[in-house]
Amino acid sequence: MATKADLEWTFGLINHAGTYLTCETFGGKLNCVTRSLKKKQIFTLETDEGTDVVRFRTHLGTYLGVDIDGKVSANADEAGANNQFIIEAQKDGRWAIKSNEHGFYFGGSGEGLTAFVKEISEDRLWSMHLAQHPMVTLYNVKRKAFVHLPDDGEGLTADEIVAWGPDAVISIVFNPENGSYSIQGANGMYLTASGALIADNSDTSSHFVLEIDGGRVSFKTVDSHKYLTCLGSQGLCKATKSAKTDDETFEMRNAYPQITLKSVNGKYVSIQGGIEPSANQKSASTDKEIFQMEPLGGDQFQLMGLTMTGKDAQAKYFHAGPDAESGHAGEDGVHVNTLELGANTTFNVEFSGEAGVNYIAFKASNGKYLAQQMNGYLKAKADEASADAKSVFEFSIVNRPRIAFRTTRGFARTMESGLIEINKSFPDVYSLEGADGKFAILDQSGKYWTVGDNLNTSAAGASPQYFYVELYQNSRLSLRTEGGKYLRVDQSGPLVANGTDGADPDCQFEY
């Protein structure tokens, strides 16, 4: 489904009896006996461009398959003809999954899963529950623009050429009562068929059937069976169309972290003055003070800035070193002016805490750190990452004012006791508050995440407890306490402050 390599279409399949298709760890045995979505219930959809054929990859890396006798299995290491399926979406949004090779429909319940019938019946239908992180950017294929929340907060519009800032992050919310989805804007309001936004998505006017086609998606209302489209010069999102075209087709894309950078001079890095970034703004009040971090692997990232706005909006990459495009030949110059990727657009990212401040530093390909000069401009010329060298920056994540956390064990939710557990099928959404580059996490009840004497994390604090944040590949982060311990997911679900390495998978949370 995704155009970004690190955003895969992952989901659970719920049968007619309300239980999830499960691939057991030993032997790849298939059954439908559990009502929760965890690792063994997650499948990844593989598609081939230009064809309706799909494959279902299990958490073991094997493929769902059907043989000529209608026997189903999940033990193929490589996908062949028996592992190819066609998804036939029904009017209510459920899927009929047909073997492309044999024409049999897959279904059943308990341990009695089969594929030997060629007619669709109730026990052959599946609801699809997205398991991936709910916060994405949503790109309209026809308009070549992203859906976002406009300044007036009235509706959602598809007129942002580059997804930039918190307004461009959209949440796709699963409604388990009917297997539908709701589209939630950055203000927490839900889109309805009329284009209006409402606070409570229990109203079915905000419920959409999610249809997929070659990795792209469309949204059809549960009530009127109309497709969501984009109307007028602003691309106002409303459900008015009976048929599906490119106007009604979208792509879900990764919402990469976007940050602001405050230098040690107390001012924000900006490109308002041109292509040379400079720490010269008292506030981060425009898109020119927001920068996007794109992962390359390990601790390497690319950094982007929005060089043009409006209808001609364009984001370009930071480039450190000799620059033919601008005419500057300095070995340590920094410009935001290229779409050509290479060593000079690659930065090693480091995190540190000095005097209670959460800092980020960027090392360029010349082995030097980006540092603020006397005139405010950034150059790649510092030998160390430190406040004294003016080569560290206080950062804030600006496109996650609302945040959800996911690991391979599940989503973070607050229990009735206030305890935070991260093994759930559905996420709670929290608020992120920043200070000195550190972050506090606020529960919907108005309580802050707090580490107790037993090292368990609960939403129990009346005042914020701030955590140091480190960013990792594929929109993952770790949270470190003032005492130097990382929040870590215990095997049984609780979030415990006893981790020693932010790179440990159990200490990383997709956000």
Query: 19 and 103: one domain?
Result: yes
Query: Could you tell me if residue 434 is inside a domain?
Result: yes
Q: How is 443-465 classified by DSSP, letter by letter?
A: -TTS-EEEE-TTSBEEEEESS--
In order, the DSSP letters of 398-409 are: -S-SEE--EETT
Which one of 225, 254, 283 terminates a domain? Answer: 254
Tokens of 446: 């108005």
Task: Give the number of domains in the chain.
Answer: 4
The reported pLDDT for the residue numbered 248 is 97
Widest CA span in the chain: 76
Question: What residues have CB less than 8 Å from 504, skipping those under 6 apart?
Answer: 486, 488
Distance of CA 448 to the CA centre of its chain: 23
Alpha carbon distance 349, 305 (integer Å): 17
> Domain boundary at 372, 397, 422, which?
397
Check whether residue 350 and residue 448 sit in a common domain: no
Same domain, 263 and 388: yes
Burial 264-275 (b: 16+ CB within 10 A, else e): beebbbbbeeeb
Are 479 and 350 found together in one domain? no
- Whether residue 2 is contained in a domain is answered as no
Judgement on whether residues 482 and 432 belong to the same structural domain of the protein: yes
Quote the CA–CA distance of 175 and 173 in Å, as a whole number.
7
Q: Note whether 249 and 149 are same-domain residues.
A: yes
Give whole-number Cα distances, 174 to 156, 392, 497, in Å: 19, 40, 30
CA 201 to chain centre: 21
pLDDT of residue 324: 53
Amino acid at position 119, single letter: E
Per DSSP, the three-state class of 124 is helix
Same domain, 205 and 273: no
pLDDT of residue 48: 80
The dihedrals phi and psi of 372, each to the nearest 5 degrees, come to: -75, 130
Domain of 459, CATH number, reads 2.80.10.50
Q: How far apart are CA 160 and CA 146, in angstroms?
A: 5
Strand order in the sheet with 438-442: 402-403, 430-435, 438-442, 448-451, 457-461
Please check whether residue 102 lies inside any domain of the structure.
yes
List the one residue out of 164, 211, 163, 208 whose CA is nearest residue 183: 208
The predicted structure's pLDDT at residue 49: 74
Say if residues 425 and 413 touch (Cβ distance below 8 Å): no
Please give the Cα distance from 127 to 98 (Å, whole number).
Answer: 15
CA angle 482, 447, 175 (to 5 degrees): 115
Q: Same structural domain for residues 393 and 410?
A: no
Q: Are residues 328 and 441 in the same domain?
A: no
Q: 112 and 44: one domain? A: yes
Q: Is residue 244 part of a domain?
A: yes
Q: Which of 149, 36, 206, 140 is nearest to 402 (CA)?
A: 149
Query: Would you say residue 422 lies in a domain?
Result: yes
Domain C-terminal end among 87, 113, 130: 130
Q: Both 167 and 203 in a single domain? A: yes
Give pLDDT < 70 ranges for the chain. 1-7, 214, 323-330
22 in a structural domain: yes
Range of the domain at 366: 258-397
d(CA 144, CA 139): 7
Number of other residues whose CB lies within 10 A of the CB of residue 52? 14
Instruction: Report which residue type is found at 448.
Output: Y
**Rg of the chain, C-alpha, whole Å:** 24
**Chain CA centroid to CA 484, Å:** 27
431-454 pLDDT per residue, tens: 999 999 999 999 999 999 999 999
Domain shared by 308 and 420, yes or no: no
Report yes or no on 90 lying in a domain: yes
- Token digits of residue 12: 């659970």
Both structure tokens of 140: 């309209």
pLDDT at 9 (0 to 100): 81
Tell me, yes or no, whether 5 lies in a domain.
no
Angle (nearest 5°) at CA 95 between 110 and 11: 75
